[in-house]
Chains A and B, each alone.
Chain A
């Protein structure tokens, strides 16, 4: 479904991604792991078009999306949930979700809204509350819900468990599995490697901008090198 071939991306003179190739098949959850500065977020931003790669190619459903503007990529069916719950704090919950439907067809609005509310019942309860007053976990749910309003086929999640209490992080991971069960493919970036690998079909481990390891979630979870070098278990 999504295929990155030897992507190079730089910030100015600093090369953050050094020829990475990633493939995500339809219906999968694929996670990108790695320590801080490994290039996980850069990889997601390159897919969503916020960053432009220097070379390499990105295919979405066999069509090159390299160099397209972010809003056109959203229209193709890829939606990113940016790191750190970037909701619109002064909008109400409902207004946030409405704005999330910016590119999707009007007739799908109610259907999408129902889906988000059934995934996150708390958002329905709080739909008229100002989003900035929600708790961290609720804001993360809202950010995911808002992305779902654009009816994406591929969802890019950037550290959804960042700064959440373990119980809330667990809840978010459960919901990610639910979203995937509904047929939405997911590319996930996480620091919480253990939880992410349990959830994912496949995973890639990034180090200094290149791919170090790659395999099924189960394999990586039991890989001794990975455990020592990265997971610290």
Chain B
């Protein structure tokens, strides 16, 4: 009896587009009901229904089918270069066009892109789940903050120092932690993240505890302060490009190949003579290096650091960027970081619901595209 009804509904969902869309829309509306009145829920229902039906109809249409057949195989590649150039120009001129608020948002998303690219090396390439990445971000930020406020060192002198100290912390954690695999490694990195945050929070004499460190200098060049948003934007922009260029190079090198081989199959990798431990250590130190760079940029941008910015949620947020974009795909990671960093700002108008929408979006992504937006393939193709 009940079985028959379920069978019928299932058949109907397959056959009728409208029915399928209205089921999904009803689910979305019910999710919304507790937060707003019935009117909003009905609006939600209608908009999802119309949107989904439109998508399904277009997908079924002849036009889309011929489009797929004609363009699909090399469609993304054909437009890759012009699209990248257009993007670069757009980002280059944006300080002249955009208001300070948007510039600010872009700077923060640039910092997140560097962070996510670094984490992608560890999680995406080498396949080592790291849930404490914010710790290395914090180490980078605090190294700059302390060297600057206590010793008066400048931004450019501190940048390599804080990147290296984050990297060194990565190495120190990796040496014992890499004896563990998978979930166990994830738990150890999570613990490390908390240890770093709690240390920063409680070491009052050095880090000023939860009050944080204030009065951190902005970068400057030959006595010219680069603290103005436009200048700082270009600094972050340059660092994003630098990070991308270097990571792409390493990814297509012998080292990158070894990382991906280890992720694909550890036993096979070791059977053909790849030194597993060594390359895992490389991944940890190389990935955390960029967290140090991002931390320094963050500290000099905010001119203030406190342990609050480096919580576990922050680590998860960075990991979500990597997963959203597509594990192991460099361009995907950039896209994921950009979207997730921008989203809270875009959704500021619906303040109350933005975490709900974010969560819902991630759940839907995991159902419909578990490999991430650009995941699935590799970003580096070796041509023959």
Q: Residues of A with Cβ closer than 8 Å to B? A: 48, 50, 69-71, 74-75, 79-82, 86-92, 94-95, 98-100, 102-103, 127-128, 143, 146-147, 149-150
- Chain A nearest CB, measured from B46 CB (Å): 42
Let me know if B248 is at the binding interface, CB within 8 A: no
Known: A128-B384, A150-B273. A90 touches B378 (CB 8 A): yes
Known: A87-B265, A88-B265, A99-B257. A81 touches B271 (CB 8 A): yes
Interface residues of B in 238-265 (CB under 8 A from A): 254, 257-258, 260-261, 264-265
Contact partner, A75, options B257, B261, B268, B273, Cβ 8 Å = B273
Given contacts A87-B265, A99-B258, 7 further A-B pairs with CB under 8 A are A70-B270, A71-B276, A74-B272, A82-B271, A99-B272, A100-B272, A102-B272
Q: Mark B148-177, 1 if CB is under 8 A from A, else 0.
A: 000000000000000000000000000000
Let me know if B275 is at the binding interface, CB within 8 A: yes
In the complex, which residue of chain B has the Cβ closest to the Cβ of A101? B272
Known: A88-B261, A99-B261, A127-B384. A150 touches B272 (CB 8 A): yes
Q: Are A98 and B271 in contact (CB under 8 A)?
A: no
Q: Are B264 and A147 in contact (CB under 8 A)?
A: no
Known: A90-B378, A94-B384, A127-B384. A103 touches B273 (CB 8 A): yes
Let me know if B365 is at the binding interface, CB within 8 A: no
- Chain B nearest CB, measured from A58 CB (Å): 17
> Could you list some 7 contacts between A and B, CB below 8 A?
A70-B271, A74-B273, A75-B273, A86-B265, A91-B260, A94-B382, A147-B272
CA distance A48 to B382 in the complex (A): 30
In the complex, which residue of chain A has the Cβ closest to the Cβ of B270? A70
Contact partner, A102, options B265, B273, B384, Cβ 8 Å = B273
Q: Are B265 and A74 in contact (CB under 8 A)?
A: no
Please indicate which of the listed interface residues B268, B270, B273, B378 has the most CB atoms of chain A within 10 Å of its own CB: B273
Chain B residues within 8 Å of A150, by CB = 272-273
Chain B residues within 8 Å of A70, by CB = 270-271, 273, 276
Q: Are A71 and B274 in contact (CB under 8 A)?
A: yes
CB-based closest 6 A-B pairs: A74-B273, A103-B273, A86-B268, A88-B264, A71-B275, A71-B273
Contact partner, B274, options A50, A95, A102, Cβ 8 Å = A102
Chain A residues within 8 Å of B265, by CB = 86-89
Q: Are B270 and A89 in contact (CB under 8 A)?
A: no
Instruction: Count contacts on B: residues with CB < 8 A to the other chain.
Output: 20
Q: Are A79 and B271 in contact (CB under 8 A)?
A: yes
Let me know if B355 is at the binding interface, CB within 8 A: no
Q: Are A146 and B273 in contact (CB under 8 A)?
A: no
CA distance A90 to B327 in the complex (A): 13
Let me know if B180 is at the binding interface, CB within 8 A: no
Let me know if B356 is at the binding interface, CB within 8 A: no
CA distance A94 to B257 in the complex (A): 13
Let me know if B267 is at the binding interface, CB within 8 A: yes
CA distance A75 to B272 in the complex (A): 9
CA distance A94 to B383 in the complex (A): 10
In the complex, which residue of chain A has the Cβ closest to the Cβ of B273? A74
Interface residues of B in 366-384 (CB under 8 A from A): 378, 382, 384
Q: Mark B340-355, 1 if CB is under 8 A from A, else 0.
A: 0000000000000000
CA distance A82 to B258 in the complex (A): 18
- Chain A nearest CB, measured from B108 CB (Å): 33
In the complex, which residue of chain B has the Cβ closest to the Cβ of A90? B264
Q: Are B271 and A102 in contact (CB under 8 A)?
A: no
Q: Are B257 and A86 in contact (CB under 8 A)?
A: no
Known: A90-B378, A94-B384, A95-B382. A79 touches B264 (CB 8 A): no
- Chain A nearest CB, measured from B289 CB (Å): 24
Contact partner, B272, options A79, A89, A128, Cβ 8 Å = A79
Please indicate which of the listed interface residues B264, B271, B275 has the most CB atoms of chain A within 10 Å of its own CB: B271
CA distance A135 to B140 in the complex (A): 49
- Chain A nearest CB, measured from B84 CB (Å): 24
Please indicate which of the listed interface residues A71, A91, A143, A149 has the most CB atoms of chain B within 10 Å of its own CB: A71
- Chain B nearest CB, measured from A170 CB (Å): 25
CA distance A19 to B273 in the complex (A): 27
Chain A residues within 8 Å of B382, by CB = 92, 94-95, 98
Chain B residues within 8 Å of A102, by CB = 254, 257-258, 272-274
- Chain B nearest CB, measured from A182 CB (Å): 19
Chain A residues within 8 Å of B268, by CB = 82, 86-88, 143
- Chain A nearest CB, measured from B373 CB (Å): 18
Q: Are B271 and A86 in contact (CB under 8 A)?
A: yes
Chain A residues within 8 Å of B254, by CB = 102
Contact partner, B267, options A82, A90, A98, Cβ 8 Å = A82
Q: Are B273 and A86 in contact (CB under 8 A)?
A: no
Chain A residues within 8 Å of B273, by CB = 70-71, 74-75, 79, 102-103, 150
Chain B residues within 8 Å of A92, by CB = 382
- Chain A nearest CB, measured from B17 CB (Å): 32
- Chain A nearest CB, measured from B340 CB (Å): 25
CA distance A100 to B257 in the complex (A): 11
CA distance A87 to B335 in the complex (A): 31
In the complex, which residue of chain B has the Cβ closest to the Cβ of A75? B273
CA distance A99 to B255 in the complex (A): 11
CA distance A69 to B264 in the complex (A): 20
Chain B residues within 8 Å of A89, by CB = 264-265
Q: Are B267 and A50 in contact (CB under 8 A)?
A: yes
